[in-house]
Amino acid sequence: MLTTRPRGTNDILPGMVEHWRYLEDLIHSICRQYGYREIRTPIFEHTELFARGVGETTDIVEKEMYSFQDRGERSITLRPEGTAPTVRAFLENKYYAAAQPTKFYYIGPMFRYGRPQAGRFRQFHQFGVEVFGSMDPSIDAEVIALAMDYYERLGLQNLQLHINSVGCAKCRPVHRDKLREHLSASLADLCPTCQGRYEKNPLRIFDCKSPRCQELVAGAPTITDCLCPECAGHLEKVETYLQTVGIKYKIDPYLVRGLDYYTKTAFEIMVEGIGAQSSIGGGGRYDRLVEECGGPAIPGIGFAMGLERILLTMEQQGLLAALPASQEVFIATVAPEQDLAAFKLVQELRRQGVGAEKDYLARSLKAQLKFADKLGCNYVVILGEEELAKGKAMLKSMRTGQQTEVNLAEIGAYVKQKV
């Protein structure tokens, strides 16, 4: 129907847009403080980028991508995540030739065909950061610290940081063999998806939501048990950096990320009580992804968090308080003859940086005052014939009801001072 939005999408209406702006303004502020620069990539990319970058065994590639043939018979996909496009932009624009590390952040819509639920949509929005060019454990800790700092500045409570290592090319094959051996007798009992993962990437079985699969992997060897000295040492150093800045965390040996490109550090940030999924963000290290996408061997690490999930959490924790009105002043007229003066004053106040509004429906003065109250204006300027003749106006506070006669030329400065 023409009057119904597609399932899994949402209209962000006035009243909520202001909350989104608040999240986005804080993102820009905190990323600037941490030395990250914004990047904006296309909403669609070549499908092969996600098949190679995200991983063919992931739910995203197997089940959730919006892919189509364009008029040139090329396979195109609406971006389901932000890391692979950022890697592509890093390579195509030769950032690898510059001094490292390179720090990016992005905000934008992503698309996945999944079952809509609380805080999860088919078109959703992510804030993410990506760092290229450093294998130092301190950059892992910085990325985690940035995410936790952002949540804390928003005032979120009951945050739980889970971290793990998913190993590297040396230790993952050891774990893969042990995991296959553990599951071999139960292969037929795995869900069809995990039966495919058994051969391609059995580590992903830990991430399956099927209760039966979770039951079968309970007690199975974890990647944490099989880490090589390099990966174990890296995780230990990340822990040390987190401890140094007072960030609390939990080692979760069953934590794996839903994308195949992760190596070593993996982390997830959770909040209880926000629906079936408690995660509000996560990420990790991907030291082979740049190379997998056709570039040089350059390490990387990053995170992504869903803005819808954050807003849902803020709402449930009572943090979405009413934001200030966008208009500070409403210009009301006693009679239609003052409308021209009202129009002129509205424009003058706007040029001075004061949010101002006027009546456009020839309402009575009483109706204008009611409308100004609905808009949430702090002040109403009442223009009458006698006041205009003296170059003055009556300024009424909508909070206290107090009225003050003010020179027309001084209204902007007066309101700025009060607000």
Domain 329-418: CATH superfamily is Anticodon-binding domain (3.40.50.800)
pTM, to two decimals: 0.86
Of 284, 218, 224, 285, nearest in space to 253 by CA: 224
Is it true that the peptide bond before 6 is cis, omega within 30 degrees of 0?
Answer: no
Contact 395, 414 (CB under 8 A): yes
pLDDT tens per residue across all 419 residues of the chain: 678 999 999 999 988 999 999 999 999 999 999 999 999 999 999 999 988 877 666 677 878 899 999 999 999 999 999 999 999 999 999 999 999 999 999 999 999 998 887 778 999 999 999 999 999 999 999 999 999 999 999 999 999 999 999 999 898 888 888 888 888 888 888 888 888 888 777 877 877 878 888 888 888 888 888 999 999 999 999 999 999 999 999 999 888 765 667 889 999 999 976 655 688 999 999 998 999 889 999 999 999 999 999 999 999 999 987 666 667 899 999 999 999 999 999 999 999 999 999 999 999 999 999 999 999 899 999 999 998 999 999 999 998 999 999 999 999 898 888 76
Rounded Cα–Cα distance for residues 156 and 311 (Å): 10
Contact 30, 99 (CB under 8 A): no
Distances (CA, A) of 393 to 41, 335, 385, 409: 51, 14, 9, 10
**Rg of the chain, C-alpha, whole Å:** 28
Rounded Cα–Cα distance for residues 305 and 309 (Å): 8
Please report the pLDDT score of residue 323 as a whole number.
65
Please report the pLDDT score of residue 54 as a whole number.
75
Rounded Cα–Cα distance for residues 329 and 414 (Å): 11
Please report the pLDDT score of residue 276 as a whole number.
53
Residues 6+ apart with CB under 8 A from 108: 40, 41, 43, 82, 125, 126
Rounded Cα–Cα distance for residues 176 and 390 (Å): 86
Cβ neighbour number for residue 275 with a 10 Å cutoff: 13
Q: Report the side by side order of strands in the sheet with 67-69.
A: 44-46, 75-78, 67-69
Please report the pLDDT score of residue 324 as a whole number.
62
Rounded Cα–Cα distance for residues 113 and 119 (Å): 14
Please report the pLDDT score of residue 321 as a whole number.
75
Let me know if domain 17-171+227-316 sits in CATH 3.30.930.10: yes
Scan for tokens 């804080």, then name that residue.
26
Beta-bridged to residue 279, according to DSSP, are 270
What single letter denotes the amino acid at residue 129? V
Where along the chain do its domains lie?
17-171+227-316, 329-418
Burial class (CB in 10 A: 0-12, 13-18, 19+), 102: buried
